[in-house]
Amino acid sequence: MPWQARDTMSLRRELVELATQEGANRRMLCGRFGVSPKTAYKWLARFEKDGATGLHERSRRPHHVPTRTLAEIEAAVVGLRAQHPAWGGRKIARRLFELDGTAIAPSTVTAVLHRYGLIQPEASRAATAWQRFEHPEPNELWQIDFKGHFDTPASRCHPLTALDDHARFNLILKACPRTDRRTVQPWLIEAFRRYGLPRRINADHGAPWGAPSAPYHGLARLTVWLIRLGIRVSHSRVHHPQTNGKEARFHRSLQAEVLNGRGFEDLGAVQRAFDRWRTVYNCERLHEALALATPASRYRPSPRPYPEELPPIEYGPDATVYRVPVNGWLRIHGRWIKVSNALTGLPIGVRARPDRDGVLDFYFCHQRFMRVDLRDREDNE
């Protein structure tokens, strides 16, 4: 597959960032990004020689300006802040050094921003430290969600986002017209083909990720498909959006750096803005939670490739297998039990708990989605 014209530079930058990591499988990356090894190694050579500027068509931008005056440095600080209004002193100082070797203390950058009226007092008060649990490796957990919606003259936009928990690497950023499974699934497939499969994905209970009317099993047609791929699907606790806290923080950055104060004529214009910012976010924007590293420097694709055909569903000898009928009702040990309609026509495995008499665990593939106590006439757990 050739490079797509609309995001050639972002794909080129992302490929070289991932391919230059220690232990990277460059041949695998070439296949997942749809470029020939010859093309990839050409851009790798330019990147190793000239950094990000080498990825442009023979850019001649100088790398070092040792005679830069204080006024020029201040202008550079103000200019970078104008490009990225949500960046603070540490990010701007590190980025200036990466661009042309300008050495300036973060505190000096902050002073410049205050002097030019670019930091409001309320923004300083809102700058609080965030501490969250972090998985030790990439692809242990992806967080996925929609960032609300907003209107354009042509249609409504629902931004779909996915983030790697360990690296904060943005995997999906799409301007979607709807939030249904048919809209979401192709973008997930594109991400899986490029980055491989994660071990777990966390989402909320809303459509298309789960069933709000039956949050105890959290199954929808989309999650059934994910489980069949070998991915464990988890859901945020009801009314606890902080479970997907890194996604929420990403949404704050997206709002501040892309959406605030801007209008877009249609979804295509939104997507072009998303594509430009995604490269900045993954490959240039320095994250304090990552010790001022970029997400691309911490992320590596999963070794688990996306299977173009779903694997067969199998259960061990300790499970009793039932095929779910159209109405979702099963008769087990003389009791009618309702399971998700998303499982219609598929086999599920029912296992008795050895430590609790009369308690049954219901599995679809590897994932337990429901527990029933036959002694209790109340609803399923």
- What does the pLDDT read at residue 128? 46
**What are the pLDDT digits (tens) for 302-357?**
999 999 999 999 999 999 999 999 999 999 988 999 999 999 999 999 999 888 88
- What does the pLDDT read at residue 98? 76
The pLDDT mean for the chain works out to: 84
**Where residue 241 falls among pLDDT bands split at 50, 70, 90?**
low
Residue 280 has pLDDT above 70, yes or no: yes
**What are the pLDDT digits (tens) for 144-177?**
999 999 999 999 999 999 999 999 999 999 999 9
**What are the pLDDT digits (tens) for 34-82?**
888 888 888 888 888 777 777 776 545 555 555 555 778 888 888 888 7
Domain boundaries, the chain: 5-55, 70-126, 142-298, 320-373
- What does the pLDDT read at residue 188? 98
pLDDT, average across residues 228-235: 94
**What are the pLDDT digits (tens) for 344-369?**
999 999 999 888 888 999 999 999 99
Q: What's the 3-state SS for the chain?
A: CCCCHHHHHHHHHHHHHHHCCCCCCHHHHHHHHCCCHHHHHHHHHHHHHHHHHHHCCCCCCCCCCCCCCHHHHHHHHHHHHHHCCCCCHHHHHHHHHHHHCCCCCHHHHHHHHHHCCCCCHHHHHHCCCCCCCCCCCCCCCEEEEECCCEECCCCEEEEEEEEECCCCCEEEEEEECCCCHHHHHHHHHHHHHHHCCCCEEEECCCCCCCCCCCCCCCCCHHHHHHHHCCCEEEECCCCCHHHHHHHHHHHHHHHHHHHCCCCCCCHHHHHHHHHHHHHHHHHHCCEHHHCCECHHHHCCCCCCCCCCCCCCCCCCCCCEEEECCCCCEEEECCEEEECCHHHCCCEEEEEECCCCCCEEEEEECCEEEEEEECCCCCCCC
Task: Judge: domain 142-298, CATH 3.30.420.10.
Answer: yes
- What does the pLDDT read at residue 377? 63
pLDDT, average across residues 186-212: 92
Residue 215 has pLDDT above 90, yes or no: no
